[in-house]
Amino acid sequence: MAIMAKIEAVLIADDASTFVTREIDGVELSFGGIEGDRHFGLFAKADSRQPMYKRGQEIMNRRQLSIVSVEELQGIAQRLGVETIKPEWLGANIVVSGAPELTKLPMGIRMILPSGGGLVCEGENEPCAGPGKQIANHYGDRSLTQQFIKHAGQSRGIVAYVERPGEIKPGDLVEIQI
């Protein structure tokens, strides 16, 4: 089974002082992800998401890319009672439409790009305080930090790694293989 989704935006976190991303025209994905992005690389340091390893130990980077769906962002905004949730506030690298339950897709699904590139889903990108603070700052309501954590579960998007390099750009149709 497959779902066809549209790439609405490609973003990069290339400012070392923040996880917030900015939109770019497109990019050639490499085995490390998006070159210049804060999550680029084949390896990463273990953190609170990998409690089985000592913090700071080198591990495989399975969180090279953060992918969100337009539909899920709209749902989060509605639950928070705000006008919009921008993908850059969440540090997203890829925004898709046509996948209203993107976050609920199982680990291991593949996203095949028209260029022949491929991504592998590593599961839900669980809500945390960083994006919540961005939303709270934008709307001037500190309570939105915790509300985001509470209301964005199972809808904040997924993380993925590059299985096969290839170009990705807005307008591309991606095949999500389930």
With pLDDT > 90 as the criterion, what percentage of the chain qualifies? 98
Q: What is the pLDDT of residue 13?
A: 98
**Residue 169 pLDDT exceeds 90:** yes
φ/ψ of residue 172, rounded to 5: -60, 145
Q: Which helix H or strand E contains 79, and what residues bound it? A: helix 70-80
Q: What is the pLDDT of residue 174?
A: 98
Q: What is the pLDDT of residue 49?
A: 87
Q: How would DSSP label each residue in 152-173?
A: -TTTS-EEEEEEE-EEE-TT-E
Q: Which residues pair with 30 in a beta bridge?
A: 33
Distance CA 92, CA 130 (A): 12
Number of domains in the chain: 1
pTM to 2 decimals? 0.96
Range of the structural domain that residue 146 is part of: 2-177
**Residue 167 pLDDT exceeds 90:** yes
Q: What is the pLDDT of residue 77?
A: 99
Q: What is the CATH number of the domain that holds 39?
A: 2.40.33.20
